[in-house]
Structure 1
Amino acid sequence: MPVLERDPWRLQYFEHVPCPEHVLIPVDDPDCWLLFPDRRWIYDKLKVAETQGLACGPHGVPPDSYPVFSKPIVNLKGMGLGSRAIGSAAEMDHSYQPGHMWMPLLEGDHVSTDCAVREGLICWIRHATGVAAADGMFRHWTIHAAPFPELEEKLSGWVKRHMRGYTGMMNFETIGGTIIEAHLRFADQWCDLYGQGWVQAVVGLYDKGHWEFADGQRRNGFSVPLFAVHGRRYSHPPPGLQAELRAMPEVQSLQITFHEDKPPEDHPMPPGGFRLAVINATDLGAAMAARRRLAAAYPPDLILTPA
């Protein structure tokens, strides 16, 4: 299997793709840290902010003005955990935390971007945006077929300046065109929505250093989660129902995103809810319909986003 995938519900995207044994493709940041020791600086969010000329510093160094955004400098599991806005010097003193940093409180669109990089140059790129719900949850994500020209120009320039010689996948999180996180991997939640042959192209990039992917028939894609309340132990839906949902028109995949034999509190989940599943589709209405049918397999008082 070509990808070092830790989540069994995402093996479906990679397990049938041929790959040479020597090729290792990470999709989790701890694996990226181990595989690319000379690129570990990219997980230092203070360093990433400095490369863009942003006002920033570690806790203990006071900002010149407020509000600011505070977050861990390095956090390979749950990159956003512990993040918050801070509105004053008094609040900063009260919120002091070793290993945290501050930077400007940004405004604008929050975009997740996957790109293929060959010898320090972006050769393929695609963007996703999410509709946020409460407490870290999302209603759905849209994987856009259309380009984002201004953002692509900024990211291409940054990669050219700072990733010289790198070949592989990258993911960026940006707000208003400013990079807030960078990763030496792609987002594996919706990679099936990039089109047939995309995973094979990724294998070729890591194996031969070439990017070959026919990307002329892009469609918008949608990734829709189903959340339930915390504090309960859940069972997987019946296999027959899973097969029925996967066979629905426009539905590309169904991920049941939890382990039945693992305590609920040991799953990394947003504070607002426990994610039961993710449905990927090329039509938002179809994804929502599949989510409603899946939600009906659970007691309605436990479901947070059934509609």
Structure 2
Amino acid sequence: MNIKEYFPPPENFPAIKKSEAWPHPVYTEEQMRQIVIAHRKTNNWSDWVALKSVQVLRSVTDFATGYRHDKEVAAGIKDSRDANRKRFAMDERKWLVRFLFLESVAGVPGMVGGMLRHLHSLRRMKRDNGWIETLLEEAYNERMHLLTFLKMAEPGWFMRLMVLGAQGVFFNGFFLAYLISPRTCHRFVGYLEEEAVITYTRAINDLDTGKLPRWENLEAPAFAVKYWDMPEGHRKIRDLLLYIRADEAKHREVNHTLGNLSQQDPNPYVAEYKDPNIPRPSKGLTTLKPTGWERDEVLR
């Protein structure tokens, strides 16, 4: 018998309709504007290690992307007419380089955590209590951020080499760390997302103060409009940054919350509760808590 009868050519197969793996929650403009910079204080040695690790990583990333920012100028407290002539002034190209670098690494923790919990569930032959889905969904969302920015700029060979090196080191380091202390790793990601919210807030402030003129009237990529379901009249780059900042704020809350839980606790972001009147964690921004939900709030 002809082998083609077993393996017909691809053109004989019907087209497969492509769909999103995880539909994105709907954010309102008011919810996104209410996102604030926040910091969770360290309460123990594990928190301290996580925070210091993020600070080191932030310093390395700042150096690699040529980033140095006047906090008061970025926050709009003061203005500087010659800011764009300074060596470390951030223009559109520098912001894109930073975004690409950050998002290429940001998709690693969720995938590593989800993979290790998946394997742990297989070994123990027990359910995972819903953690895997949330972690993989986070990794997927961060990858969508990266793909969106790739629609705006194509990185060069040096940038790709930097990302390859950083991702290789970070993946293996996070893998080992998650085996030792998952709670510390989730706190680490929570602090990392705090920095991401700061970064996108500063970029939005730069845009609002006229330092990024090429982005003022630039439309967001169609890819992003579809993924976030951006409404008509709210599809500029500034709107895009608001959506991405909201995602990072949600990841900040999720990981601080998971860092407060025991590894055997049910995942509150997929759990169903008997009393709908008590505020609970959710996938959207309706009950956002910047520093995370405490264990007693989730399990009561």
TM-score, length basis structure 2? 0.27
- The structure with the largest helix share of the pair is 2
Which structure's CA Rg is the greater one? 2
TM-score, length basis structure 1? 0.27
- The structure with the largest strand share of the pair is 1
